[in-house]
Amino acid sequence: MGPTACGKSKLAMCLRKYLPIELISVDSALIYRGMDIGTDKPSFSDLSSHPHRLLNIKDPVEYYSASEFQNDVLKEINNIIQLGKIPCLVGGTMFYYHVLLYGLSVLPPSNIKTREFLLQKANDKYSLHEKLELIDPISASRIHKNDFQRLLRALEIFHLSGKNLTELKKYNNYQLPYTVFQFAIIPPNKEWLNNKIEFRVRKMFMLDFQQEVEFLFLRGDLHINLPSMRCIGYRQMWEYLEYKTSHKEMFNKIVFSTRKLAKRQLTWLKKWENLNKILYNSNTNILVEQVLDTLEKGCKKFL
């Protein structure tokens, strides 16, 4: 685990030289096909040598819920173990890790028709919040008025199940049946991370990120309210292509939103239990040694 731009993927791929691991992507943006540059997806060459499961599994027009991730990742973990190898999960979607470790209430899967119905009835995201306050005031108090995706999901759950999100969360007896070693790369300081993020965004534009989004924009079946197009970078570029913002403003918004994401990821990690923190080092071999040393000490406890 770790904040965006800290080198998680590079470390995971290097570990394959020393351990019989198979990689599983834990990233809510990398699941989409055709969204490579803006998500900083591993290169074709890297993926040829180091395949990642749960990557490129959805078209950008499709929805993908946390419950679907839970089902998919458990299947992949079981398959890897049956091969006699070790599952290694890598990515920055902290909520997905939380779902894997602690489970998710029994929630109905996403339904496109239901979502379209709710969107037709809603004037804007604020009216969605008002409706949620009526059926589930506890969830409404926890979900910000601007968090369109979570508001829509909470209302969808009620329409599909007849019970609100708060009620369904009470029934969760899930327990992950594996021993898990958890690692997180921690950046040396805020300034370093902010510089890395801005460098990554500039690199995106050098690699023709705009052209990538233009292709999606011209497909005709995508819109800005889809989860895929609300990913950082794609949402801001989409607004630019609709002439709603200038190029400079769009660039600055991407940098700001990415930094905000990294801050949220670090907030998750500060509260994370049983976490082995690894201070970033430009020498990946040093990071590898820290991981291997921690694993060796941890495994001795089970012998």
User: From the annotation, which residues make up the binding site for substrate?
Assistant: 4-9
CA–CA separation, 277 and 269 (whole Å): 9
Tokens of 220: 């005709």
Distant-in-sequence, close-in-space partners of 267: CB < 8 Å, separation ≥ 6? none
Assign 46 to helix, strand or coil. Answer: helix
CB 278 within 8 A of CB 185: yes
Distant-in-sequence, close-in-space partners of 204: CB < 8 Å, separation ≥ 6? 37, 38, 40, 233, 254
The residue whose two tokens read 């918004």 is 253
Annotated binding-site residue numbers: 2-9
Q: Which of 185, 191, 195, 196 is nearest to 5 (CA)?
A: 196
CA–CA separation, 150 and 139 (whole Å): 10
Distant-in-sequence, close-in-space partners of 147: CB < 8 Å, separation ≥ 6? none
Annotated binding-site residue numbers for ATP: 2-9
